[in-house]
Structure 1
């Protein structure tokens, strides 16, 4: 083929499939679809294929092509409806229209296949609202969600609760370094999430009995790797050994952090001067270096996001997976590395002062509602609530993520 445009125009992508196996029984639960470009070409490897497509401005289109080819291959092979098909997705493609020629197979897949959409934590850091939209679309179709490569980046652990995956895929590097302190931190955080949510833990890269034994110690109940089978074309009529369960989706709605927390925690009245130490304490908690943490804050108006605050948030952003500031008049990046969102007039968030911190092992939220005083700034009164209940904090934080603008980053290759 002459160039990447010809590859895309001709939909010249093939799919290989690798089994996902229940470790305790050896039963096949599903397959992961892995895309490849034309054999023998410069674009056979998926990283090269996606790099070329992104450079040509057609990355989202390629993502649709890869998914459509995976569904088409599974349907043609008579994929057992009890099996689960894992398919990688670029969140940016969720906001891009499906090419008309691919719609029929996409629609058939929605009716006939049981799919888990795989995303990585990098996608949430780059475009929180886009990823959450993609995840919501998958769940609306009755499909599951997997968070891939967990442990490859320490930042992923803080972002995991927001995706609320049905399956957590441990990065293969963890199996090769079981004694590393980083591995222990990842395994502990994933185990805590899985225990609280009911999610499945899947270990990638199992190539030997030794890897399999290590995977068991890490709490993995499902495995993937050459020990169970290499990626190959799908044979006709694969039959499920068992069905991989999905977990209940997280609560949704358009309530604000104050409405969420205030409904379940005691509400107290205080002045701005009295609340400032609590706010600074939570900021410090996000940046104490103990673990990467997400920090989300609502400032009501841009004038409250002072130069000193901007400097503090910029420093925190350098070591955090996500730091965000929301308020009327704020830009998309009010400080270096800080994600911003401008609140419109009449936005229900406009009357709230919120500081929310979420890390792998910590969670805290200060939520406050302005009572509308017009006196001295430090004497303005707020009704407020404070919580360290992890589920409640995450619910409050999730209510803000969809408002954030995408980061100015190149397209992410998730296939």
Structure 2
């Protein structure tokens, strides 16, 4: 239930007033099948009818400034769930509930836990996260997604198209629903829109993700949404936000529950590969540098993930290379055992436990909207000078393999953030 309208009205607002009991009343905007016109679900939006005109964007901006964003976010989320439960929305229709990526995923009070548990059992919920959070809070967003998957909830990525750099993170979010930002639907298509739509269509084709268009207000908007591949939509053309109907439609928005992936390592994923071979470190260094250079040269900036066994192999020269990557790419993650200092400014750094099987592996993984490449290697630990150390390895451009290997590293980053072990605070990596 984050803000979905332009900022207007008062410049500030009284948070205590809008958080008072009874002040927050959720409103629900219908989501429709663009072919049949049937209502398949609702997005919950925040409204404060008894306090005068309070703009949601203003409320969330004020809450962020006062350090109370999570408090307001949870109030909106709980109100949305309670409203749907009170009207017996059921689990045929889909309820879209917005969430700030920086908020805690688990309810803290017993009353909130009880309400969320009831919603898990009685409602079909899709948690809606903004595209912007991919760049500002990527690790926290992945933590939230894991929690939602564990509850059997779906994931929608909102406002897709605002920042093309976030498209590289789509494979790691694996959204069930991609919501096209209204700027894509309402504006004349240009190079920016074409780049975004091409990446979205490619991802949807590979994964079966559902495309939903926001901001459909005219027949021309509807026509453009359909041309972009949207099957579902929302906007004033179909209905304004309001109370939930007493009798809900039985039409259903399809999405497949995606369970959290079991922990593994990149090498475990390819250990049976037919092209597995043996090479010395000096060869693998040249190959890994080539993959890094490729990441820097791509027109669509990729996600870069690397596992370096132990901190001793993160030389100053390596740190400088990854600092440059962190400036150019939407997300850079570095993992190694024994890290006592940040591996590269602007990146995400995780110190591995000495017992983690990943410590025996070396991986450099690059995933872009249209490009994927990885070096995945395991140390044979048979001695010799450092540059002559031998590794079993593969170089692969198979997208499914590369993405799966990347997810195995992202899973460790998510666990580190959830456990508070991440070495550096999450920042806007493109600031």
TM-score by length of 2: 0.88
The reply to whether residue 70 of structure 1 matches residue 80 of structure 2 is yes
Q: Provide the C-alpha distance between the structure 1 equivalents of 2:340 and 2:270, rounded to a whole number of angstroms.
A: 27
State the Cα distance separating 1:234 from its structure 2 match: 2.4
The reply to whether residue 201 of structure 1 matches residue 211 of structure 2 is yes
Q: Provide the C-alpha distance between the structure 2 equivalents of 1:88 and 1:221, rounded to a whole number of angstroms.
A: 21
Q: Which residue of 2 aligns with 1:367?
A: 376
SS in 1 for 2:23: coil
Higher alpha-carbon deviation: 369-378 or 328-337: 328-337
Contact 2:382 2:390 (C-alpha < 8 Å) held by counterparts: yes
SS in 2 for 1:318: helix
Higher alpha-carbon deviation: 14-23 or 246-255: 246-255
The reply to whether residue 337 of structure 1 matches residue 346 of structure 2 is yes
SS in 1 for 2:36: coil
1:250 to 1:195, Cα distance in 2 relative to 1, 3 A: farther
Q: Which residue of 1 aligns with 2:271?
A: 262
Q: Provide the C-alpha distance between the structure 2 equivalents of 1:410 and 1:369, rounded to a whole number of angstroms.
A: 32
The reply to whether residue 28 of structure 1 matches residue 39 of structure 2 is yes
State the Cα distance separating 1:204 from its structure 2 match: 0.8
Q: Which residue of 2 aligns with 1:144?
A: 154
Higher alpha-carbon deviation: 158-167 or 374-383: 374-383
Q: Which residue of 2 aligns with 1:135?
A: 145
SS in 2 for 1:91: coil
SS in 2 for 1:49: helix
> Matches of residues 13-412 of structure 1 in structure 2 within 5 Å?
13-37=24-48, 39-40=50-51, 44-240=54-250, 242-249=251-258, 252-264=261-273, 266-331=275-340, 333-404=342-413, 405=417, 408=425
Higher alpha-carbon deviation: 94-103 or 144-153: 94-103
SS in 2 for 1:230: coil
* CA RMSD, Structure 1 to Structure 2 (Å): 2.4
1:150 to 1:68, Cα distance in 2 relative to 1, 3 A: same
1:328 to 1:104, Cα distance in 2 relative to 1, 3 A: closer
SS in 2 for 1:68: helix
SS in 2 for 1:365: strand
State the Cα distance separating 1:265 from its structure 2 match: 5.0
Contact 2:131 2:157 (C-alpha < 8 Å) held by counterparts: yes
SS in 1 for 2:287: helix
State the Cα distance separating 1:170 from its structure 2 match: 1.0
Q: Provide the C-alpha distance between the structure 1 equivalents of 2:330 and 2:359, rounded to a whole number of angstroms.
A: 25
SS in 1 for 2:79: helix
1:216 to 1:347, Cα distance in 2 relative to 1, 3 A: same
1:297 to 1:25, Cα distance in 2 relative to 1, 3 A: same
State the Cα distance separating 1:335 from its structure 2 match: 1.7
Q: Which runs of 5+ in 1 are unaligned?
A: none
Q: Provide the C-alpha distance between the structure 1 equivalents of 2:18 and 2:184, rounded to a whole number of angstroms.
A: 36
Contact 2:281 2:387 (C-alpha < 8 Å) held by counterparts: yes
Higher alpha-carbon deviation: 98-107 or 217-226: 98-107
Higher RCO structure (Cα 8 Å, ≥6 apart) = 1
Higher alpha-carbon deviation: 332-341 or 184-193: 332-341
Q: Provide the C-alpha distance between the structure 2 equivalents of 1:142 and 1:80, rounded to a whole number of angstroms.
A: 15
1:117 to 1:91, Cα distance in 2 relative to 1, 3 A: same
1:265 to 1:164, Cα distance in 2 relative to 1, 3 A: farther
State the Cα distance separating 1:324 from its structure 2 match: 1.3
State the Cα distance separating 1:40 from its structure 2 match: 4.5
1:168 to 1:125, Cα distance in 2 relative to 1, 3 A: same
Higher alpha-carbon deviation: 278-287 or 174-183: 174-183
Q: Provide the C-alpha distance between the structure 2 equivalents of 1:39 and 1:261, rounded to a whole number of angstroms.
A: 59
Q: Provide the C-alpha distance between the structure 1 equivalents of 2:137 and 2:154, rounded to a whole number of angstroms.
A: 20
SS in 1 for 2:35: coil
Q: Provide the C-alpha distance between the structure 2 equivalents of 1:255 and 1:349, rounded to a whole number of angstroms.
A: 9
Q: Provide the C-alpha distance between the structure 2 equivalents of 1:89 and 1:332, rounded to a whole number of angstroms.
A: 32
TM-score by length of 1: 0.91
For residues 309-340 of structure 1, what are the alpha-carbon distances to aligned partners after superposition, in whole Å with 9 as ceiling and x for unaligned?
Answer: 22221111112110111112335742221111
State the Cα distance separating 1:376 from its structure 2 match: 1.7
Contact 2:90 2:122 (C-alpha < 8 Å) held by counterparts: no
Q: Provide the C-alpha distance between the structure 2 equivalents of 1:2 and 1:340, rounded to a whole number of angstroms.
A: 38
